[in-house]
């Protein structure tokens, strides 16, 4: 593993990458390798995994899974890899719904079901996930089944909320927010779906659409919890505020602006 970690200098977590690949090759949990590394011989399947990582393929695509919040999700090509910073949407939602449960959850741009299934693991709610990518929706449905949530979820293919009527207590959205000319690491740019990453010259194209759609979807007492890029708080707050919503900002683990919570502005 040490040799592999040295080869992964391009990664922010080279040692972790090597450990995850070794555990995957062995078919055991990472903790098992860490607690008793001398117990295991390096399997023949490890080297091909290292080669894939050296081509900057995301670890989650290689192992086929990524932990997020309180659940594990199957992921792969065509689905955006869940990020730890997106867990802040769940934390912000917990703050809004402290002491009560959002009965209905809508996840716009659900990908492999990331935010929706995490929310349904947190609350005994029912939810709807929407995505334009058939590949992402296949992962979402498989993840719902693996988590025993098929009866509490429904997934549809659509462009944001264009095909949706009704209101929801909790609306979650992690839209694309990267400007089209922005440089990204190779493992992101070369492997993850561009439709889930890029959003026009200023990275705001999808927020403009969501700002128009979201106000009609928020149930009384509910909230839309939306991920943003670290420099977009002012711009996206203005878009939502122009539609009559009250907006609160939450920061991520690194102290960066990351989540906006939009609610009905009840003041006269």
Residue 63 domain-assigned (yes or no):
no
Residue 117 domain-assigned (yes or no):
yes
Residue 33 domain-assigned (yes or no):
yes
- What does the pLDDT read at residue 136? 97
The answer on 40 and 131 residing in a single domain is no
- What does the pLDDT read at residue 246? 98
Residue 167 domain-assigned (yes or no):
yes
- Mean pLDDT of residues grouped by 10 in the chain (268 residues)? 92 95 96 89 96 97 97 97 97 97 98 98 98 97 98 97 95 97 95 96 98 98 98 98 98 96 78
The answer on 142 and 255 residing in a single domain is yes
Q: What's the structural domain count of the chain?
A: 2
Q: Residue 210: how many CB atoms within 10 A of its CB?
A: 25
- What does the pLDDT read at residue 266? 62
- What does the pLDDT read at residue 268? 46
The answer on 79 and 38 residing in a single domain is no
The answer on 124 and 49 residing in a single domain is no
The answer on 169 and 47 residing in a single domain is no
- What does the pLDDT read at residue 204? 98
Among 32, 55, 78, the domain-final residue is 55
- DSSP sequence for the chain: -HHHHHHTTTSS-HHHHHHHHHHHHHTS-HHHHHH-GGG-PPPTTHHHHHHHHHTT--HHHHHSEEEETTEEEE--TTSPPP-GGGHHHHHHHHHHTTTS--SEEEEET-TTTHHHHHHHHHSS-EEEEEES-HHHHHHHHHHHHHTT-GGGEEEEE-STTTT--S-EEEEEE----B-TT----HHHHTTS-GGGTB-STTS-HHHHHHHHHGGGGEEEEEEEEEE--TT-HHHHHHHHHTTTEEEEEEE-TTS-EEEEEEEE----
The answer on 184 and 111 residing in a single domain is yes
The answer on 212 and 187 residing in a single domain is yes
- What does the pLDDT read at residue 112? 98
- What does the pLDDT read at residue 2? 85
Looking up residue 249, the CATH number of its domain turns out to be: 3.40.50.150
- What does the pLDDT read at residue 265? 77
Residue 211 domain-assigned (yes or no):
yes
Residue 212 domain-assigned (yes or no):
yes
The answer on 234 and 152 residing in a single domain is yes
The answer on 136 and 34 residing in a single domain is no
Residue 64 domain-assigned (yes or no):
no
The answer on 76 and 48 residing in a single domain is no
- What does the pLDDT read at residue 267? 56
Residue 38 domain-assigned (yes or no):
yes
The answer on 234 and 117 residing in a single domain is yes
Q: Domain of 197? A: 69-264
The answer on 78 and 35 residing in a single domain is no
How wide is the angle at C-alpha 89 spanned by C-alphas 263 and 151, nearest 5°? 95
Q: Which residues contact 191 (CB under 8 A, 6 or more apart)?
A: 56, 57, 58, 61, 77
């Amino acid at each position: 593993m040490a040799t592999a970690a040295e080869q992964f200098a391009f990664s922010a977590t080279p040692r972790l990458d090597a450990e995850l690949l070794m555990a995957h090759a062995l078919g055991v949990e990472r903790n098992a390798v860490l607690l008793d590394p001398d117990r295991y011989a390096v399997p023949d399947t490890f080297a091909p995994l290292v080669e894939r990582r050296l081509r900057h393929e995301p670890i989650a695509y290689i192992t086929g899974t990524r932990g997020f919040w309180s659940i594990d999700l199957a992921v792969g090509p065509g689905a955006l890899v869940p990020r730890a910073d997106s867990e802040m949407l769940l934390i912000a939602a917990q703050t809004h719904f402290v002491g009560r449960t959002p009965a209905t959850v809508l996840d716009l741009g659900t990908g492999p079901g990331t935010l929706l299934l995490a929310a349904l693991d947190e609350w005994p709610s029912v939810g709807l996930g929407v995505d334009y990518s058939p590949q992402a929706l296949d992962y979402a449905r498989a993840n719902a089944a693996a988590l025993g949530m098929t009866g509490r979820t429904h997934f549809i293919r659509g462009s944001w909320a264009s095909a949706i009527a009704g209101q929801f207590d909790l609306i979650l959205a992690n839209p694309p927010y990267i400007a089209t000319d922005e440089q990204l690491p190779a493992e992101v740019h070369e492997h993850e779906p561009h439709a889930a990453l890029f959003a026009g010259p200023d990275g705001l194209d999808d927020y403009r659409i969501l700002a128009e759609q979201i106000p009609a979807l928020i149930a009384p007492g509910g909230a839309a919890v939306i991920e943003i890029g670290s420099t977009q708080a002012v711009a996206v707050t203005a878009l939502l505020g122009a539609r009559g919503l009250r907006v609160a900002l939450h920061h991520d683990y690194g102290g960066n602006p990351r989540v906006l919570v939009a609610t009905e502005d009840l003041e006269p």
